[in-house]
């Protein structure tokens, strides 16, 4: 008997099917993956549409009021299309509001309450059991493409920002064991992941709650600490038939600029970690940061950015900012614009301040009028687009590594195009690299060297280097 390949998994003919609608941030997407993986282990099949599902899960977002409206709309659509709906996720903490809008929902559970949502599925769509089941464990379910994966290292947050209710929704910081995180990362890479996206509510605080406990990994003690984690992830290798292999891209998100972040930059310069940091600055004006209940050390941050670029010239910094926060004056906003001009961040997102039920910022005086928010938002985006365009134009003529996200079909001339990302681009939130005349052997997940031929304010355009 040929034992080189495993037989395909068998699905029981009467297996109950579960549909999933996942909203919100990558952390919620990881929750959805874990829920579906657990349900599949319990004998459920997955349904790609409403019609084929015995029950539909809606994983909601509750961070902003607009996100809550989107969640309620998604619940309503699922009820209309299927009728049997279980709600989970961040907005699940507001069960009364959900039931008031949609009394037909079967059950409501909160964020990362895996056991409760699985129990609700068991109750309302009992699993099918039969005399024949496969004993070979199946891989975890992924809701992202095969070549990149989110790696969640902790849950919750110890900050008390006045505009945020994440600690109320997801609790205080709870870090995963370092050996468990590394084991998951190793498993993902072995299964085809070429890019690991490290996520949490506060990646820099990883292990604070466990006093950075040590665990044994590959025969050596490793601390639950961001620097140790980054170093170990940088040691992973993609299996490619060679003794050394190549390192997967490892991208750090939600990194607060604590002092120990400085120790990660040399790892980027050495090529162990992707030269990219996602830092949630939110603002720069000291008075606004004080009202936000965030550290006001913007001057030191500028000096550190300069030092980081000296160590690793290719480092890309992305961040997001809030305009129109209560009490933000024209001088405060001008300070932010001047700071951005000096910081020269590579990627910037902006949000107009939006009250969130339960956030302390709602009680602050001097709300900013909506038309002023819009005007400031437009000004900020104009500045950051100009900075981005200049930075991308400076890359024309360079050869950069690019990971391929999609390969197109041949056009009428037989030419094939592809879409990828440079190391400065995270999936879904940053720009893209558009390639022309790629070989038909190119595949999703390949990492190739690309010569940049052109650029605009957000994207690069190029061809695979000879």
**pLDDT on residue 297:** 64
Tell me how long the chain is: 466
CATH code: domain 17-124 is: 3.40.50.12160
Residues in CB range of 270: below 8 A, 6 or more apart: 234
Angle in degrees, 0-180, between the axes of helices 298-311 and 330-343, rounded to the nearest 10: 10
Say how many Å lie between the first and final Cα of the chain, rounded: 45
* 3 state SS of 407: strand
Q: Which CATH superfamily is domain 399-464 in?
A: Nucleic acid-binding proteins (2.40.50.140)
Question: Residue 273 and residue 259: Cα distance in Å, rounded?
Answer: 18
Instruction: Say if residue 195 is exposed, middle or buried (CB neighbours under 10 Å; 0-12, 13-18, 19+).
Output: buried
The pLDDT of residue 7 is 46
Residues of the chain with CATH 3.40.50.12160: 17-124
Q: Residue 261 carries which DSSP code?
A: G
Span 193-227, pLDDT tens digits: 999 999 999 999 999 999 999 999 999 999 999 99
Domain with CATH 2.40.50.140 in the chain: 399-464
Q: Which residues in the chain show pLDDT less than 50?
A: 1-12, 130-136, 242-243
Res 26: pLDDT: 84
Q: By percentage, how much of the chain surpasses pLDDT 90?
A: 69
Domain(s) labelled CATH 3.80.30.20 in the chain stretch across 148-393
CATH class held by domain 148-393: alpha beta
* pLDDT at residue 34 in the model: 87
Give per-residue pLDDT as tens, 405-431. 999 998 888 899 999 999 999 999 999
pLDDT at 111: 80
């Amino acid at each position: 008997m040929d034992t080189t390949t495993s037989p395909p998994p068998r699905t029981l003919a009467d297996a109950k099917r579960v549909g999933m609608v996942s909203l919100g941030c990558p952390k919620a997407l990881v929750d959805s993956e874990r829920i579906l993986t657990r349900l599949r282990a319990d004998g459920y099949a997955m349904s790609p549409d409403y019609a084929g599902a015995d029950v539909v899960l809606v994983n909601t977002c509750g961070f902003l009021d607009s996100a809550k409206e989107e969640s309620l709309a998604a619940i309503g659509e699922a009820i209309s299309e299927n009728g049997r709906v279980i709600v989970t996720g961040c907005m699940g903490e507001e069960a009364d509001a959900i039931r008031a809008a949609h009394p037909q929902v079967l059950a409501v559970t909160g964020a990362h309450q895996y056991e409760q949502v699985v129990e609700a599925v068991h109750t309302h769509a009992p699993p099918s059991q039969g005399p024949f089941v496969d004993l070979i464990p199946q891989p975890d379910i992924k809701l992202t493409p095969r070549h990149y994966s989110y790696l969640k290292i902790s849950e919750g947050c110890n900050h008390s920002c006045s505009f945020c209710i994440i600690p109320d929704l997801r609790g205080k910081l709870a870090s995963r064991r370092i050996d468990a995180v590394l084991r998951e990362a190793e498993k993902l890479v072995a299964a085809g992941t070429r890019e690991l996206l490290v996520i949490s509510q506060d990646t820099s605080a990883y292990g604070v709650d466990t006093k950075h406990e040590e665990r044994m990994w590959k025969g050596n003690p490793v601390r639950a600490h961001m620097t140790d984690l980054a170093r170990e992830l940088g040691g992973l290798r993609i299996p490619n038939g060679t003794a050394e292999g190549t390192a997967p891209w490892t991208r750090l998100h939600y990194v607060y600029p604590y002092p120990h972040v400085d120790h990660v930059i040399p790892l980027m310069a050495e090529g162990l970690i992707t030269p990219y940091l996602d830092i949630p600055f939110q603002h720069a004006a000291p008075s606004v940061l004080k009202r936000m209940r965030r550290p006001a050390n913007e001057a030191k941050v500028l000096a550190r950015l300069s030092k980081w670029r000296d160590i690793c010239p290719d480092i890309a910094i992305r961040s997001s900012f809030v305009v129109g926060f209560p009490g933000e004056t024209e001088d405060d906003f001008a300070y932010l614009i001047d700071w951005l001009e000096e910081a020269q961040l590579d990627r910037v997102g902006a949000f107009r301040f939006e009250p969130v039920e339960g956030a302390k910022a709602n009680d602050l005086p001097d709300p900013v009028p909506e038309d002023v928010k819009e005007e400031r938002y437009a000004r900020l985006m104009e500045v950051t687009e100009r900075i981005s365009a200049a930075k991308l134009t400076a890359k024309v003529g360079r050869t950069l590594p690019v990971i391929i996200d999609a390969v197109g079909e041949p056009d009428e001339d037989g030419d094939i195009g592809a879409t990828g990302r440079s190391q400065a681009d995270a999936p879904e939130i940053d720009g893209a690299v558009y390639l022309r005349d790629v070989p038909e052997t190119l595949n999703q997940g390949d990492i190739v060297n690309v010569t940049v031929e052109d650029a605009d304010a957000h994207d690069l355009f190029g061809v695979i280097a000879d």
